[in-house]
Structure 1
């Protein structure tokens, strides 16, 4: 799908929605994911931030990310983004390896980057586990934000887990009546993925095999989710 030089708003669902990816299910394009070089061996990883400059792969583990156990990986993801974004290598790859679950708090990934960046998600990314676990002082309106990113591919066979069920269960959320109508609620839940003031994006919908891409100066102002609610 190629869209022209104008701002576009693609409406999806936030973490508390009952609907699943209806916006993207019928999108079909022919852009395959960008092939990647082999990732560095974890056994060769140095201290956090000690990136091997001979490769264009920036492994989140090298920057201190720890999968599983409820560890907070927010700072590690910020560090690896900054390193990949400012790198002079061609097509830097922010690599999230398979076999892990990484918890990341509400975060803004800021561009523009030096070159087209690949965000390769091969494992599970998840936010804090519901409203009670959401840190005070952090925005509840959004989770992962990409701001002023020019040229990026988001791809992989991993899962972006929105933890939506606990947000939907809030008493202040909209609820359906017996006749199928919905009553409005007084509270919001976070937007899972948001692209703001960004362009030239290729988005490969994780776990669905559906591709939504732009090879022109598409600006995606809002993108609420990439995967069905868990």
Structure 2
């Protein structure tokens, strides 16, 4: 009688490799196709695992999205908060420039010029932010509102004459610049015949940063006197 070979037991290492494969696949597909346009079956095919394993490791779709965020968020937050602390210690024009660098460089420019994984992650965050569904908005608020609040507080400290409404309009401008750059559409680069690459850190700092600094400062409205 032929003895049947036993299948080797799955190890912790196998489980971690499976989780990593699922996260890698989900991150790429969410970034490229959008959250709602990505099916669990598509992730299954990309990761070369079964749908049951996706459910086993992550549960429902929202839990998988949360896991994709959590995998790289410590790197983001550490760098952003470190740069924010540096800005807090500065004064005047230097402080405003450092605040804007803390806002953009770790999440946008580093994300679009470093590893492929980080570039994909930044595009994934952009897709999540644009989704417009309650559960996605709650995730964005959970992981990113603290930095946004601290950032606005420091800008407000630089320019106490700005109202809360004016501060939030300035935040809207920064979000538009950030998300369009992070989205990586390449439209400006193509339209300019590669003359302008928004993902180039030096080009961004040299050309956009002065305009952003000017936009953040208090400015004259129609019928108002000059900005203080």
Larger radius of gyration: 2
Question: TM tier, shorter chain?
Answer: under 0.3
TM-score by length of 2: 0.26
Query: Which has more strand, going by share of residues?
Result: 1
TM-score by length of 1: 0.26
Query: Which has more helix, going by share of residues?
Result: 2
Structure with larger RCO (C-alpha < 8 A, sep 6+): 1
